Amino acid sequence: MIRLMKFGAVPPEEIFARAVPEIDVSAVVADILRNVRTRGDAALLEYNEKFEKAKLDALEVSAQEFDDALKATDPAFLAILERAAANIRAFHTKQVREGFRMDLGGRILGQKVLPIEKVGLCVPGGVTPLSSTVLMDAIPAKIAGCSELTMVTPPRADGTIDASILAAAKVAGVDRVFKLGGAQAVAALAYGTESVPKVDKIVGPGGAFVAEAKRQVFGCVSIDMIAGPSEVLVLADGKSDPAFVAADLLSQAEHDKLAAAVLVTDSEALAEAVQAEIERQLPLLAREEIARASVEHNGKIIVTDDLDAAVDVANAIAPEHLELCVDDPFRYLERIRNAGSVFLGRSCPEALGDYYAGANHTLPTSGTARFSSPLSVDDFVKKTQFIYYSDEALYTAADDVAAFARQEGLTGHARSVTIRKEKAK
- 212 labelled catalytic: no
How much helix, strand and coil, in percent to the nearest 5, is found in the chain? 45, 15, 35
Report the candidate in 147, 176, 141, 142 with the shortest Cα–Cα distance to residue 66: 176
- Residue 288 to residue 250: CA distance in whole angstroms: 9
Neighbouring CB atoms inside 10 A of 223's CB total 23
Task: Please report how many Cα atoms fall inside a 13 Å half-sphere around the Cα of residue 330, on the Cβ side.
Answer: 0
Report the candidate in 51, 69, 48 with the shortest Cα–Cα distance to residue 59: 48
- 52 labelled catalytic: no
Instruction: Provide the CA 288 distance to its chain's centre, in angstroms.
Output: 26
Cβ neighbors of 274 (< 8 A, separation 6 or more) are: 2, 242, 245, 246, 249, 263, 265, 301
Residue 4 pairs in a beta bridge with 301
Residue 67 pairs in a beta bridge with none
Query: Which amino acid belongs to residue 85?
Result: A
On whether the CB atoms of residues 324 and 225 are closer than 8 A, the answer is no
Query: Which amino acid belongs to residue 135?
Result: L
The side-by-side arrangement of strands in the sheet containing 381-389 is 100-103, 107-115, 381-389
- Residue 243 to residue 370: CA distance in whole angstroms: 30
- Residue 12 to residue 231: CA distance in whole angstroms: 19
On whether the CB atoms of residues 177 and 121 are closer than 8 A, the answer is no
- Residue 198 to residue 371: CA distance in whole angstroms: 29
Write down the catalytic residue from 92, 255, 321, 361.
321
Write down the catalytic residue from 277, 320, 323, 350.
320
Query: Which amino acid belongs to residue 88?
Result: I
- Residue 235 to residue 266: CA distance in whole angstroms: 9
Report the candidate in 243, 187, 223, 221 with the shortest Cα–Cα distance to residue 37: 187
On whether the CB atoms of residues 119 and 150 are closer than 8 A, the answer is yes
**Residues tagged active-site:** 320-321
